[in-house]
Structure 1
Amino acid sequence: MTGSRDTSQRRLRISELVRQHGSVQVTALAELFGVSVQTVRKDLRYLAERGVMARAYGGAIDSNAVGGPVAEPAYEVKRTERLEAKRRIGRLAATLVKAGDTIAIDSGTTAIQLAEAMPNIEATVVTNDFGVLTALTPKNNVDIVMLGGELRRKNMAFYGGLTVDALDALHVDVVFLGVDGFDLERGITTHYEPEAMLNRKMIEAARKVVAITDSSKFGRICLHRIIPVSGLDALITDEDAPDEVREASRQLGFDLLLA
């Protein structure tokens, strides 16, 4: 009876974790509960069959995310959430920017950390994010191209037809892409459809695509897909990246940089 009780308690705890975080990873759960990966997969299969969650590559997601987006956190929450990891990621991403480069920086709190860390060198930055603009303004050697449009106050960035059209005549060396959801099967996703449209346009204009995200986004799936993971040239994240992502970097051929 003890084994059965332990299994029930573990599955209840897994259900609580997926509701709290929106997603869970097999390897992290196995380590947390001190059981095998196979045991966790059985747990997830059991819970998925009962509609508690939906299976995803390397783990599971909240079943509500299948029919609609994972809830978007408030901007104030995102600015402080996992801040130290975002700072490390931003600093590492900034080392990729060289004098003479033209880069695009997507919206997002990790993108702001990249802008904060970017050296004051002769480079050009294209962005639609108000926070990125604010961080770069004191760096007088950096030329800034601000994409206009309608301000979305929920994440303090500009979107719309004007924003997308402004990219038609632009070519950039690298686009640094923020991430709301990162799933190996369902790709890189976002909460907001105009953002997905703009991101795809940025990618079309770029020679190289670099995703910047902390590891909390792995396994999350939002409603609007931007690109498959295979469309990345590089991924910059923190050292908590799960084994599945590390293996995918080898199989799909994108560089994985850990901050």
Structure 2
Amino acid sequence: MTKEIIIAPSILAADFARLGEEVAAIDAAGADWIHCDVMDGHFVPNISYGAEIIKAIRPMTSKIFDVHLMIAPVDPYLEGFAKAGADVITVHAEAGPHLDRSLQAIRALGKKAGVSLCPATPEGAIEYVLDRLDLVLVMTVNPGFGGQSFLDSQLEKIRRVRSMIGDRPIRLEVDGGITRDNAAAVAAAGADTLVAGSAVFRGNSSADYAGNIAAIRVAAEAARAALLRDSPARPMQLREGALIR
């Protein structure tokens, strides 16, 4: 299990009229990663933005671009997002018939590979691709729209995915309705990477965003510390130099 908590603000909740400024603001506010939710109006009932927007904002920060592709088919677009500046590319287990092939393609492009699970999808869907993964993303809302409420039913799935991961150097990310009020429960269940949109982009300045990020981080880190303290002693595999730069 990794020790460090990663906070990845989702720019889906940013002010799109000044998106570049918003990316710079959350960078200065202490964001670890920049989470980019890409929606196609087909796989999910909403359209957000594509590779050209990611390419346009890439110069605004050196932070990791965590690109979550909620699109189907996904394989024809992997190269475009890789070239646009994605560092981590996450595809949905439900988005195509050949998940293993998609993950191989992401790694062949020199990027970290992630897989996402919708709330109704059991964790068994990724059992046979675990060794191709750098990240597992558990959705705690139904994908497609920001601002939804957290689904408590997914906490047990997070625990089961954490158990599946074991000592593999795979990050466990959670996306959907994350706030300072539920960040502790999510981290206690085993998540180490938290995506937050509306909860981060409250206010209108980098200082506001910094306070929001800090509140989520403090709650999650306290729960993570308790989890590590209560877990049986075993060697830790840290992600230094893998997804963290």
Alignment TM-score, normalising by the size of structure 1: 0.32
The structure carrying a bigger strand percent of its residues is: 1
Rg (Cα) greater in structure:
1
Higher relative contact order (CA 8 A, sep 6+): 2
